[in-house]
Chain A
Amino acid sequence: MTFARRVLAIAWKDLVAEWRDRESLTAMCFFAFLVLFLFNFALGGDQTLIRGAASGLLWLAFAFTSVLGLARSVQGELANDCLDGLLLYPAEREAIFLGKLCGSFSIILLVELISFPIFAVLYNMDIWSQLPKLLLITIPATLGFATAGTLLSTMTVGLRAREAMLPFLLFPMTIPLILAAVRGTEVVLRREAFELAMPWLKLMAAFDLLFLVGSLLTFELLIEE
């Protein structure tokens, strides 16, 4: 019970701080819009080309945008030595990781939900009837991205070039996840049978499980010094 309370307390703290500051949220939403707009602009008016590339462009936008939020996940705790304060609580390290993960996941997912209408308008896509299926792809992909990102944000927190190192490590590591999310979204946007997305969903689930277990096992080692 105390474990769950601690997880929720950390997530609550991060979400309240983000809601009041809206520092990451505003930057992430604006960045997502900008990336989607620029890709759309670069492809010109060729609707066939746009529709063919849409799912890939959507997930590139989400991947770039997520880094902004993930960078603040653990690195944001450096202000006023709050990270030290957090580590000095007699709390399970797993609770700290899961709390940070829940906070990051919620913020990234919120930005993605805000980005969907922008994507629909810019790329002239009718996504609303497909929204539940789209969420079935988005949620595990976001969870994987948030898990890997929280872990890598922890790994790089002690580095001087931490902000540059995070995307440098995160993007290569999440290639299978991005690929699965792109392919799964493609199936949904083309209105093909959802069974075709199942292998990609399984890949995402395996990625999420692997990183979640790996993160819980290594977080203590990584966070201490």
Chain B
Amino acid sequence: MASTDGAAGFPGVVPAVEIRGLVKWYGAHPALRGVDLCVGPGEILALFGPNGAGKSTLLRILAGLVRPTAGSVRVAGFEVGKHSDGVRRVIGVLAHGHQLYETLTGRENLQFAATMLGLDRPVDRVAGVLAKVGLEAAADGRVRTFSSGMKRRLALAKLMLREPRVMLLDEPFTNLDLQATKLLEEFLMASKTTGVTTVLATHNVTMGFAVADRMAVLEQGRLVFDARRDEVSRESLRSLFTIQGELWGDE
């Protein structure tokens, strides 16, 4: 099993994500109780855990959307909270909610994103990502009329538009059909080859195991497991997922 001390796993390499002693309390409820974790450049980390384990909170802290109670977090060298502008420039988030405006068309949503990102040649870039996710034909329809799967694809197109260095994905495989799942898998693999780091929180053991280099398990706000893929079998990982006879996941 790999250690959770993180930096020791990347001698001489600046981690893309570095979390030290992370604690988060929501009122009297502890969401994270001292998490230490490092993710190297180009690495894909799958974060598993039951509902309420703190996965989404961890991703939200990494994205700078939630302030930690204690501890330090660095993303691509930028300290979250102190250099939030830098963090926002390098991250891409695929959230549980699709973050799309339903009264706008698919294309308008992406054009709005391109303007907010300050991209050059926005029309070409938008057309390019729409083609990648196979939504060219439907792009001029309002998002309200899209199926859940189409909305996820459009959210993926928005993520592609950002060209992030660190991707934070919350349940990315939810509501995806086989074709879209394959598309996401290919995108993750292609991003990995260009050095993009990915942290994905998922219940889906099969998909998490298929794409990740490393698996970690959060339980009640603590990191209870952290191993490289070649150090763990899918079955042993799945067995970890059974708590009192109930499977966490949606498998």
In the assembled complex, which residues on chain B have CB atoms less than 8 Å from the CB atom of A5? 115, 118
Beyond the given A6-B116, A16-B103, A89-B113, please list 6 additional residue pairs across the A-B interface where CB-CB is below 8 A. Answer: A6-B118, A20-B103, A84-B63, A84-B95, A85-B95, A87-B65
For B151, the closest partner residue in chain A by CB is: A80
Which range holds the interface residue count of chain A?
Answer: 20 to 34
Cβ A79 vs Cβ B117 within 8 A: no
Flag A77-90 by CB within 8 Å of B: 1 or 0 each: 00111101111111
Cβ A88 vs Cβ B65 within 8 A: yes
In the assembled complex, which residues on chain A have CB atoms less than 8 Å from the CB atom of B118? 2, 5-6, 90-91
For A225, the closest partner residue in chain B by CB is: B67
In the assembled complex, which residues on chain B have CB atoms less than 8 Å from the CB atom of A81? 95-99
In the assembled complex, which residues on chain A have CB atoms less than 8 Å from the CB atom of B104? 13, 16-17
Answer whether A82 and B101 are a contact pair too, CB < 8 Å, given A5-B115, A13-B112, A91-B116.
yes
Flag B56-94 by CB within 8 Å of A: 1 or 0 each: 000000011111000000000000000011001101010
Can you list 7 A-B pairs, Cβ within 8 angstroms, ordered by A? A9-B112, A9-B116, A20-B142, A81-B97, A85-B99, A90-B89, A91-B116
Check if A126 is an interface residue, CB within 8 A of chain B.
Answer: no
In the assembled complex, which residues on chain A have CB atoms less than 8 Å from the CB atom of B65? 84, 87-88, 224-225
Partner of A89, one of B88, B100, B101: B88
Give Cα A205 to B86, complex, Å.
36
Flag A1-23 by CB within 8 Å of B: 1 or 0 each: 01001100110010011001100
Flag B116-157 by CB within 8 Å of A: 1 or 0 each: 111000000000000000000000001000000000000000
Give Cα A225 to B64, complex, Å.
9
Nearest CB on B from A79, distance (A)? 7
Nearest CB on A from B235, distance (A)? 35
Give Cα A9 to B65, complex, Å.
22
Cβ B103 vs Cβ A84 within 8 A: no
Nearest CB on B from A223, distance (A)? 10
Give Cα A85 to B95, complex, Å.
9
Going nearest first, the 6 A-B pairs with the smallest beta carbon separation are A81-B97, A85-B99, A89-B116, A17-B103, A9-B115, A90-B88
In the assembled complex, which residues on chain A have CB atoms less than 8 Å from the CB atom of B97? 80-82, 84
Check if B102 is an interface residue, CB within 8 A of chain A.
Answer: yes
Check if B108 is an interface residue, CB within 8 A of chain A.
Answer: yes
In the assembled complex, which residues on chain B have CB atoms less than 8 Å from the CB atom of A80? 97-102
Give Cα A79 to B144, complex, Å.
12
In the assembled complex, which residues on chain A have CB atoms less than 8 Å from the CB atom of B96? 81
- Which of the listed residues A9, A13, A88 has the most CB atoms from chain B within 10 Å of its own CB? A88
Cβ A90 vs Cβ B95 within 8 A: no
Give Cα A9 to B98, complex, Å.
19
In the assembled complex, which residues on chain B have CB atoms less than 8 Å from the CB atom of A79? 102
Give Cα A86 to B88, complex, Å.
11
In the assembled complex, which residues on chain B have CB atoms less than 8 Å from the CB atom of A224? 64-65, 67, 84
For A16, the closest partner residue in chain B by CB is: B104
In the assembled complex, which residues on chain B have CB atoms less than 8 Å from the CB atom of A89? 88, 113, 116-117
Cβ A6 vs Cβ B115 within 8 A: yes
Flag A156-187 by CB within 8 Å of B: 1 or 0 each: 00000000000000000000000000000000
Cβ A90 vs Cβ B85 within 8 A: yes
Cβ A16 vs Cβ B108 within 8 A: yes
Answer whether A88 and B63 are a contact pair too, CB < 8 Å, given A82-B99, A82-B101.
yes
Q: Which of A45-104 contact B (CB under 8 A)?
A: 79-82, 84-91
